[in-house]
Amino acid sequence: MRVWPIFKKEMRLYFTSPVAYAILLVFTVVMGLFFYLQFSTFAMASMQGMMNPMMARELNVSDAVMRPLFFNTLSVILFLFLMPVITMRLFAEERRSGTLELLLTYPVRDGAVLAGKYLAALALYVVMLGLTLVYVAMMVYFARVEWGALLTLYLGLALMGAAFLAIGTFASSVTENQIVAALITGVILLGFWIVGWFSDSVGGAAGRVLSHFSIPERMDSLSKGVLDTRDIVYFVNLTALALFLSLKSLEARRWKG
Amino acid sequence: MIEVQRLTKCYGPITAIRDVSFSVAPGEIVGFLGPNGAGKSTTMRILACFMPASSGTARVAGHDVFAESLEVRRRIGYLPENVPLYGDLRVAPYLDFVAEVKGVGRAERRRRVAEVMERCLITDVQHRLIGRLSKGYRQRVGLAQAILGDPEVLILDEPTIGLDPKQITEIRSLIKSLAGRHTVILSTHILPEVSMVCDGVVIINKGSIVAQGPIDTLVDQFFPTARVEVEIAGPSAAVHAGMRAIPGVVAVQGVTVTDSAGRYVVEAARGRDVRAEIFALASQQRWRLLELRQVGTTLEEVFMRVVAGEEEVGP
């Protein structure tokens, strides 16, 4: 499997065009702002907590800073906006410019091409998440951190990102228009995000199914430090399914017709 | 080296190629000719394993393009029409990527890439973004990626399209230099190019092969006569009859004929040179001979006749 050269080429393309820089810049600036707001609010609350021990017991950085940092409405919107941008180029651009034809006639399996591209997107996402570790480092300096909750939060973010990027990769593989790819991804991700809202009103078995697919509910428990295999299996399955569909859509041209 | 048998490809209700069969011997350069939309690119895409045929088989270097696609892809270099390249990459890193994907080892890669750039005359642009290169350079980068890794078979789809005459000459001599070392199949609709570069041709029209073989054989086959163009000032009826009477002449056609002068094409059996006899005839009759020249048959004429006539001809 020649995944490595494909991966390297994709990384090079991310970083020779402004795409990666734009994504990283927007992400760090916005997240930095949120972190500043959350952390200063937390600092205020801590000072009040010194007068009020009952309130102080309720305070911890995971709940007060890290979770709101990633799961306030605005950062969710930022996520749903940035993830499709990371993946939209992967196949759509190659299809449009015709380079896919050349790439797929090199002695590499379709699976290796897919893996290389997907891993490159994942790597960019990991860099993105990695940049937020600066905030964690600052918190460690100023406050007492619950390492377990922090770890599951990042695990959850990584798993969620892996699934989102796989969905984006699939969307990019079915069209030759990057904007269309981004829109398809955005709609699917939004769907997974809000599907849980309807579970209560639908109720019954259908409601339980809906809430099963709801991503916020999965992330909620992971970000609180609850490591549930069901959540992990859910994200792994979603990722695998989306990648499988991407592979099939790549192979579709080889179907006899 | 390339064996294609009864290849058919349908896109939904449209049949792009039908029952295409031909073969290319090792080391040969074969021109794949046909008008636009004849099915050249479709055939080449199938040979390059980009898509499968609807029916029929194609074998490249002994491997089936569908069943052993990976084996075939290890042995081919492909240059698609329009030369798709990554505009955001620089030339040298791009070629390094291609070499790596083609399985050229790390130690050898730098040398192979440098060598290929040298051969394709792109060493001086190796640090530039491919997207900023001129069409001629892009074409050469495309050719460089195809010959990288020294594949046995090269499949080049319109390698000289859109180039200026100087660049065409350069690319042509580059392709010529590949003969022997590689088996090449190249499509084009610039016919003089084929006569200069190729050993044989395959002519395809409306999805079917209409003629194939070495160029000389095809010329003989479609134009079994040698032709001489004559301009004579003299009574046209007598001139016509006089030339027709020369032994070996099969036909005399008037191109522009008036009562007192005319331009004719005289066809004689191949190998017969009737120029001396025409001259003798003219001087004996005291006609003034204004022009007398042998007309070589070009591939272009064969092509026009074959494509217009659509007659099915075997190899």
Number of alpha helices (DSSP H) and beta strands (DSSP E) in chain B? 11, 14
CA pair distance B31, B184, nearest whole angstrom? 8
pLDDT at position A257, please? 52
Question: Which are the contacts of B275, defined by CB distance < 8 A and separation ≥ 6?
Answer: B228, B292, B294
Distance from CA of A174 to the nearest CA of B (A): 17
Question: Does residue B177 contact residue B120 with C-beta atoms inside 8 Å?
Answer: no
Tell me the DSSP string of B61-106: TTEETTTTHHHHHHSEEEE-TT----TTSBHHHHHHHHHHHTT--H
Q: Cβ contact (<8 Å) for B50 and A98?
A: no
Query: Binning pLDDT at 50, 70 and 90, where does residue B196 land?
Result: confident
Q: Is the pLDDT of residue A229 over 60?
A: yes
Report the share of chain B in percent with pLDDT over 90: 29
pLDDT tens per residue across span B271-313: 788 888 889 888 898 888 888 988 877 777 788 777 776 544 4
pLDDT digits (tens, 9 = 90+) for B46-67: 999 998 898 899 999 889 988 8
Cβ-contact A165, A122 below 8 angstroms: yes
B153 in contact with A at a CB cutoff of 8 Å?
no
User: What's residue A105's pLDDT?
Assistant: 92
- Lowest-confidence region among A48-57, A117-126, B107-116, B190-199: A48-57
Q: Which two tokens stand for residue A68?
A: 């709101």
Count how many Cα atoms sit within 13 Å of the Cα of residue B21 in the half-sphere of its side chain: 8
Tens of pLDDT, residue by residue over A15-74, are 988 889 999 999 999 999 988 888 888 888 888 877 877 766 667 777 778 888 888 888
Chain A positions in Cβ-Cβ contact with residue B52 (cut-off 8 Å): 254-256
Residues of chain B in contact with residue A98, where contact means CB-CB under 8 angstroms, are 80, 82, 84
CB proximity under 8 Å: B 251-310 to A: none
Which pLDDT value is given to residue B113?
A: 95
Record: contact B101-A98, CB cut-off 8 A: no
CA distance A212 to A254: 36
Q: How confident is the model at residue A256 (pLDDT cuts 50, 70, 90)?
A: low
Residues 6+ apart with CB under 8 A from B95: B113, B116, B117, B141, B144, B145, B148
Cα distance between residue B83 and residue B88, in whole Å: 15
Of residues B307 and A82, which shows the higher confidence score?
A82
Dihedral sign (CA B15, B19, B25, B28):
negative
Measure the CA angle with vertex B96, ends B119 and B63; round to 5°: 80
> Residue B313: what pLDDT?
47
DSSP β-bridge partners for residue B263: B231, B256
Q: How far is A163 from chain B (nearest CA, A)?
A: 27
Domains of chain B: 2-220 (3.40.50.300), 224-295 (3.30.70.3190)
List of residues 6+ apart from B75 with CB closer than 8 A: B60, B61, B63, B151, B152, B153
Q: Which of A188-202, B3-17, B73-87, B94-108 has the lowest mean pLDDT?
A: A188-202
Taking each helix axis from N to C end, the angle separating A229-251 and A147-173, rounded to the nearest 10 degrees, works out to 20
Q: What confidence score (pLDDT) does residue A182 get?
A: 95
Phi-psi label, residue A9: left if phi above 0, alpha if psi -120 to 50, beta otherwise:
alpha
Q: Tell me the β-bridge partners of B187.
A: B32, B157
What is the pLDDT at residue A198?
A: 81
Q: What is the ipTM of this complex?
A: 0.85
pLDDT band at B315, cuts 50/70/90?
A: very low
Alpha helices by DSSP H, B102-179: 106-119, 135-147, 165-176
pLDDT at B92 over 90: yes
Which tokens hold the place of B82? Answer: 């329009």
Q: What percent of chain A has pLDDT over 90?
A: 50
Domain ranges of chain A: 3-254
| B70/A109 touch (CB, cutoff 8 Å), yes or no | yes
**Cβ pair B102:A98 closer than 8 A:** no
Kindly state the tokens that stand for A58.
Answer: 């309720």
Distance CA B194, CA B186 (A): 9
Chain B residues close to A106, C-beta within 8 Å: 73, 98, 101-102
Task: Residue B3: name the closest of B45, B66, B61, B78 by CA.
Answer: B61
Mean pLDDT over all residues of chain A? 88
DSSP B301-312: HHHHHHHHH---
> How many whole angstroms separate alpha carbon B116 and alpha carbon B177?
13
Q: What per-residue confidence (pLDDT) applies to A90?
A: 94
What is the Cα Rg of chain B in Å?
24
At A172-196, the pLDDT tens digits run 999 999 999 999 999 999 998 888 7
Q: To the nearest whole angstrom, how far is the Cα of A161 from the nearest Cα of chain B?
A: 26
Tell me the pairing of strands B153-157 and B183-188: parallel
Dihedral sign for Cα atoms in the order A46, A48, A54, A58: negative
Is the Cβ pair A105, B73 closer than 8 Å?
yes
pLDDT for residue A120 is more than 90: yes
CA distance B265 to chain A (A): 49
Q: What is the mean pLDDT of residues B185-210?
A: 85
How far, rounded to the nearest angstrom, does the alpha carbon of residue B244 sit from its chain's CA centroid? Answer: 36
- Give the whole-angstrom CA distance, residue A90 versus residue A6: 11
Report chain B's mean pLDDT, rounded to a whole number.
87
**How many helices (DSSP H) and strands (DSSP E) are in chain A?**
16, 0
